[in-house]
Amino acid sequence: MASLSSTRLQRKDFGTIRLRERATGRDRDLRTVDKPATPPSPAPAVFRPAWSPDGRRLLATVVEAGESARTMGFAVVDPVTGTVEVTRVAGAEQARYAWGADAGSVVHGASGGVVKVLALDGKELLWFTRK
């Protein structure tokens, strides 16, 4: 099971995502995004974790914490290895990320009704728009 720790926004140094191991019931927090050392730089935070279609990884949207809550990109978490890969995406605005049709891509809504499909490195693969 994955959740966002209730203390994640109180930390001044980095954000976390909490994983609970089914077999042991133990929780472990994985470091996700580093927070800037000098305010008022925007502090990133992760939101909306979702399991991949194959159940092996988590995807979370990375946003600036604070009033703007501007989306900065996404994070992919591998709970087995404990690795977290954060990908910043320019112009993400208020997007929320979701897994694509497979565990190798993500989708998000962009301005003007555009939906973009991105590779896990942030490279744009496809985009769609309404007529």
- Average pLDDT of every residue of the chain: 77
Dist CA 38 CA 115 (whole Å): 35
* Model pLDDT, residue 100: 92
- Give residue-wise pLDDT tens across range 74-90: 989 888 888 888 898 88
Average the pLDDT over 41-70 and give the result. Answer: 78
CA distances for 12 relative to 2, 15, 65, 100, angstroms: 22, 8, 12, 32
* Model pLDDT, residue 119: 95
**Token pair for residue 70?**
């501007």
Residue 56 pLDDT > 70 = yes
Degrees (nearest 5) of the Cα angle 35, 2, 54? 115
CA 30 to chain centre: 13
Q: Give me the percent of the chain exceeding a pLDDT of 70.
A: 71
Radius of gyration of the chain (CA): 15
CA distances for 22 relative to 17, 25, 31, 103, angstroms: 16, 5, 20, 22
Q: Please state the length of the chain.
A: 131
31 — pLDDT class (breaks 50, 70, 90): low
Residue 127 pLDDT > 90 = no
**DSSP track, 66-122:** SSS--EEEEEEEETTTTEEEEEE-TT-TT---EE-SSTTEEEEE-GGG-EEEEETTS
Q: Give me the percent of the chain exceeding a pLDDT of 90.
A: 14
